[in-house]
Amino acid sequence: MTVFGFHASHEQIHPAELLAAVTHAERAGFDAAMSSDHFSPWSARQGHSGFAWSWLGAALQATNLPFGVVNAPGQRYHPAIIAQAIGTLAAMYPGRFWAALGTGEASNEHITGTGWPRKDVRAARLRECVDVIRALLAGEEVSHDGLVTVDRAKLWTRPEQPPALIGAAVSVETARWCAEWADGLITVNAPVEHLRRMIDAYRDAGGRGPLHLQVHVSWAPEQAEAEAVAYDQWRSNVFAPPVCWDLELADHFDVVSEQVPLERVTSVVNVSADLGRHVGWLEEYVALGFDQIALHHVGQEQRAFIDTFGAEVLPKLRTAA
């Protein structure tokens, strides 16, 4: 049966409020959670960007939910430090933590001042990071000289069972590449046919493990309100790669999204006041075979969404399954 989780969006919500939201989501019937990991929001209107790894320790302690995080090792984060962070959380909360690894975005990584590599270089760097993290979690002493450098690193606190390292992808090509190394696949909502091609590419290439999906939704009692929330908070997030990978500042995203029409927003966010439509959209994703679906209400106020989906959407999906 598909697990339905709550997505914790640090770019939009103060970490204290986000902690209250995820504990409320558990009480309302959500079965899991996942977290973003950014240095910067995509818009000044979003206005936050707490440090995910500090928050994850608090959230795992405050709930009984399994958690995942989407991370980009290699530039802002040294892979040995990410291995240590993963290992500590997995040791403290066995069986409750996974990490998705991707190539990142300039909006978070430019802060190092070292330049933003080409996509092929970022992919090669990520592949090196995956091997470093895996070896460290296995208890090996690691030295490595390549796109990342590691000198005699060893983790002294490790979990008994290394957690899953999930591949993050938004294209068919990247999904196929993730099959080489990942313990599962995560992506974001897109047209059903595109998602099917991604899943097929991953599985046909030998991809193993669970399939995760993050779904952007906007719900409010009135359609106009649901549209207004989505437009205010998410119109800076409608740009396909490479634009979304390569813009550096929230100001840049705000400038290029000034004239974005509502139709662009509703192409990437499931926007409706009709809960039946949300159930229908989610049923389509379930039918594709996703093992876990994390719901991200793109508004900054979460409580009404959590209460309503917990009471009226999730039970229908579980009954249908």
d(CA 37, CA 109): 11
How many angstroms separate the Cα of 8 from the Cα of each of 59, 132, 197? 10, 27, 27
Exposure class string for 177-203: b at 16+ Cβ within 10 A, else e: bbbeebbbbbbbbbeeeebebbbebbb
d(CA 60, CA 170): 27
d(CA 191, CA 207): 21
d(CA 22, CA 33): 7
d(CA 286, CA 313): 13
Collect all residues with Cβ–Cβ distance below 8 Å to 170 and sequence separation of at least 6. Answer: 187, 188, 190, 241
d(CA 82, CA 35): 15
Out of 38, 212, 216, 296, pick the active-site residue.
Answer: 38
The two tokens of residue 101 are 């690894």
d(CA 230, CA 194): 23
Beta strands in the chain (DSSP E): 3-8, 32-35, 67-71, 97-101, 142-145, 149-153, 165-168, 185-188, 211-218, 270-271, 292-297
Out of 11, 26, 105, 109, pick the active-site residue.
Answer: 105
Q: Distance between terminal CA atoms of the chain?
A: 6
Contact 31, 47 (CB under 8 A): no
Clarify whether 248 is annotated catalytic. Answer: no
Indicate which residues carry an active-site annotation. 38, 105
